[in-house]
Amino acid sequence: MERKFDLEDRLIEFASQIILFTDSVKPTKAGNHISGQLLRSGTSPALNYGEAQSGESRRDFFHKIKVILKELRESRIALKIIEKSKLHEDIEFLQKLKNECNQLISIFVKSVETAEKNNKI
């Protein structure tokens, strides 16, 4: 079966999974802090992608794509901190999120490179 590739749906799914994941981080002082940070950075890409689609200019679109990339990189670091600190019990869930985050980062790195090459922004 061929999987339809829809970046918006993929970002929404990632945000939904981040919400579920952060709700089950250990409720310690550190767990609450880092899960709150991950909740913000992990849901931001989907919301910013929606804004990017309605960009007022190419420059605005490009800026929002770079913000998405920044937030995904922040999410990846937060996931690594949670992993190293053992703040989540479900290692498989954590690995799936890290993998998806890495794939999304790769997609947006290519998008930024293409936009810079084509538009000389």
DSSP characters over 93-113: HHHHHHHHHHHHHHHHHHHHH
Task: Give the chain's domain count.
Answer: 1
- Count of positions (residues) in the chain: 121
23: CATH: 1.20.1440.60
Q: Residue 111: what pLDDT?
A: 87
Q: Which domain holds residue 41?
A: 7-119
Residue 106 belongs to a domain: yes
Q: Residue 56: what pLDDT?
A: 85
Look up residue 83 and give its two tokens: 């992993």
Residue 78 belongs to a domain: yes
DSSP characters over 45-102: HHHHHHHHTT-SSHHHHHHHHHHHHHHHHHHHHHHHHHHHHT--S-HHHHHHHHHHHH
Using a cut of 0.85, tell me whether the model's pTM lies above it: yes
| Per-residue tens of pLDDT for the chain, all 121 residues | 444 569 999 999 999 999 999 999 999 999 999 999 999 999 999 999 999 988 788 888 889 999 999 999 999 999 999 999 999 999 999 999 999 999 999 999 998 888 788 766 5
